[in-house]
């Protein structure tokens, strides 16, 4: 089986779809309009299920439930250790359902089944546990050790949170948003991406089983301009956490400003550089670069879509990279041999192919790939362009697919300059054994995370987010917990001071 040949069927049981309605106030309910939308399997281009379509009026109902749960419900008031206990139980139940959840993300998003089973879904449980462990360690400070005033800070939950998430990591994104907000004592509405609503609804069902009170976690599938915009412009949502494209992030922030000035956090696009220096192990560097762009079919905002290689090893690197790309296996994501599944939907598939055409027209050299794989499903060949100029569209725009731009550089300064020649600043990678180069370059790149001799090294405790137009705010780490807290200062005079 090689690239160019995608294989079929496998022995994995595709689960029947149990949850297709809106999850509001602890119940699965139809949308008020009665409308539904289809979610498509990108392997087959066929409909998986019809999902209730949430719109503004459904968001209103969900916000009322979340508001009530915040203002009067037990969740923000119970001891943090109790919240933690319920979250831990939820994590356990999720672990008992790993295979089904993994299959849901695979049919909904075209993600590799084995990867979901081993990484994404267990990762959800571990993220929930990480924040459950932090819940009872949230505390303020005592200020002003003076004779006149006693002052201290309280860290209070920010209130009702709206989460809007994308389709590329339906489970990871769900956990990254929901877990810290729950630990902080918030209540919330989450809108999954319209392409991938299935796993979020399943997590909601499991949350109820674990004992998360009604109204605390509401999941409302729907489209961006309707359900999404209803969240960002809602007068009774206290904070919005958004992950998605830079264009939509801008709209979310504007809507938040125009409505009730709710704070937003935005995790947006990227065009991340991987800078490889002359002293690198060429073989390993080529593998890293390939994984950097092909992991999750390039549908990852930190994809290493711009690769810069120093001139001493450039030719050898290019040769190895192309060889490896040609033997990369594109095919059914349920097949354990597959390394790359289909792009998430027709729109993304066509967008990527049109960027590839644009790259050819702009005069970049197509080293390998460039075409669809097979004639059913949204599969695209690993695609590498060389001889790119940095002002080309394929080098500037986020393509969000398996398309790499490769460029040669001479000096360290030139490498840094190229790495920073983007409006984005989400991530970057460096490959070198030279400590001075590693230190200099990692400090010179304007990005929220820099990987040295690795790529995609994530962790619950590693904050993740953007510089520049990649947004602001951080997912993961204790940084993320603080996005769902606000500080209250309490001040009181000290009378009858003995001094």
Residues at the contact surface with ligand ADP, assessed by CB under 6 A:
164-166, 191, 193-194, 223-225, 228-229, 232, 244-245, 248, 251-252
How far is C-alpha 372 from the geometric centre of its chain's CA atoms? 26
DSSP state of 228: I
Choice between 156 and 397, CB closer to ligand ADP: 397
Min. distance of Cβ 189 from ligand ADP in angstroms?
12
Burial category of 357 from C-beta neighbours within 10 Å (exposed 0-12, middle 13-18, buried 19 and up): exposed
Choice between 297 and 320, CB closer to ligand ADP: 297
Contact by Cβ (8 Å): 190, 60: no
Choice between 229 and 428, CB closer to ligand ADP: 229
* CA pair distance 289, 367, nearest whole angstrom: 15
**267 assigned to active site:** yes
C-alpha distance across the termini of the chain, in Å: 84
Contact by Cβ (8 Å): 128, 87: yes
Contact by Cβ (8 Å): 447, 467: yes
Contact by Cβ (8 Å): 318, 367: yes
Min. distance of Cβ 455 from ligand ADP in angstroms?
20
Candidate list 53, 267, 299, 398, residue with the active-site label: 267
Q: How many CA atoms lie within 13 A of 177 on its CB side?
A: 33
Choice between 229 and 325, CB closer to ligand ADP: 229
Min. distance of Cβ 100 from ligand ADP in angstroms?
23
Choice between 164 and 282, CB closer to ligand ADP: 164
How far are the Cα atoms of 68, 307, 315, 415 from residue 310, in angstroms, in the given order?
Answer: 59, 10, 10, 8
Choice between 228 and 369, CB closer to ligand ADP: 228
* CA pair distance 54, 298, nearest whole angstrom: 29
* Nearest residue to ligand ADP, scored by beta-carbon proximity: 224
Phi and psi at 143, nearest 5°, equal: -110, 180
* CA pair distance 271, 80, nearest whole angstrom: 39
Hey, CA dihedral for 107, 113, 115, 120, is it positive or negative? positive
Choice between 136 and 397, CB closer to ligand ADP: 397
* CA pair distance 177, 316, nearest whole angstrom: 42
The DSSP secondary structure of 420-474, one letter per residue, reads: T-SSEESEEEEE-S-HHHHHHHHHHS-SSEEEES-SS---TTS-B--EETTEES-
Min. distance of Cβ 54 from ligand ADP in angstroms?
11
Burial category of 47 from C-beta neighbours within 10 Å (exposed 0-12, middle 13-18, buried 19 and up): exposed
Min. distance of Cβ 225 from ligand ADP in angstroms?
5
Min. distance of Cβ 268 from ligand ADP in angstroms?
8
Min. distance of Cβ 218 from ligand ADP in angstroms?
15
Catalytic residue ranges: 267
């Amino acid at each position: 089986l090689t690239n160019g040949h995608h294989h079929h069927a496998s022995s994995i049981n595709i689960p029947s779809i149990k949850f297709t309605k809106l999850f509001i106030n602890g119940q699965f309910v139809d949308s008020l309009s009665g409308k539904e939308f289809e979610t498509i399997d990108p392997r087959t281009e066929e409909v998986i299920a019809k999902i209730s379509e949430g719109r503004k009026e459904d968001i209103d109902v969900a916000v009322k439930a979340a508001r009530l749960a915040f203002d009067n419900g037990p969740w923000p008031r119970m001891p943090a250790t109790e919240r933690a206990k319920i979250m831990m139980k939820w994590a356990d139940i999720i672990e008992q359902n790993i295979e089904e959840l993994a299959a849901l993300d695979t049919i909904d998003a075209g993600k590799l089944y084995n990867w979901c089973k081993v990484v994404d879904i267990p990762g959800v449980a571990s993220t929930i546990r990480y924040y459950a462990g932090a819940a009872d360690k949230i505390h303020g400070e005592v200020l002003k050790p003076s004779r006149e005033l006693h002052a201290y800070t309280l860290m209070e939950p920010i209130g009702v949170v709206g989460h809007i998430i994308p389709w590329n990591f339906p489970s990871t994104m769900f956990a990254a948003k929901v877990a810290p907000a729950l630990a902080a004592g918030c209540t919330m509405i989450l809108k999954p991406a319209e392409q991938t609503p299935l796993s979020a609804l399943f997590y909601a069902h499991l949350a109820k089983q674990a004992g998360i009170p009604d109204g605390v976690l509401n999941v409302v599938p729907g489209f961006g301009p309707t359900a999404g915009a209803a969240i960002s412009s809602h007068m009774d949502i206290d904070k919005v956490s958004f992950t998605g494209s830079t264009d939509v992030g801008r709209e979310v922030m504007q809507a938040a400003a125009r409505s009730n000035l709710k704070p937003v956090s935005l995790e947006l696009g990227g065009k991340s550089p991987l800078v490889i220096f002359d002293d690198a192990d060429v073989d390993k560097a080529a593998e890293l670069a390939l994984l950097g762009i092909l992991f999750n079919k390039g549908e990852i905002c930190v994809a290493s879509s711009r690769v810069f290689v120093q001139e001493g090893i450039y030719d050898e690197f290019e040769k190895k990279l192309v060889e490896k790309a040609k033997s990369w296996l594109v095919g059914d994501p349920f097949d354990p041999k597959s390394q790359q599944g289909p792009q998430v939907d027709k729109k993304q598939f066509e967008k990527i192919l049109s960027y590839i055409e644009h790259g050819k027209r702009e005069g970049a050299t197509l080293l390998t790939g460039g075409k669809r794989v097979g004639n059913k499903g949204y599969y695209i060949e690993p695609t590498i362009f060389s001889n790119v100029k940095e002002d080309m569209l394929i080098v500037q725009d986020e393509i969000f697919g398996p398309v790499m731009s490769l460029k040669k550089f001479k000096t360290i300064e030139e490498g840094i300059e190229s790495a920073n020649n983007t409006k984005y600043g989400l991530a970057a990678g460096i490959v070198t054994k030279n400590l001075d180069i590693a230190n200099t370059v990692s400090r010179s790149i304007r990005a929220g995370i820099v990987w040295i001799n690795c790529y995609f090294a994530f962790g619950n405790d590693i904050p993740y987010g953007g510089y520049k137009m990649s947004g602001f705010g951080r997912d993961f780490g204790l940084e993320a917990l603080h996005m769902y807290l606000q500080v209250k200062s309490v001040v009181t005079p000290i009378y009858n001071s003995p001094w």
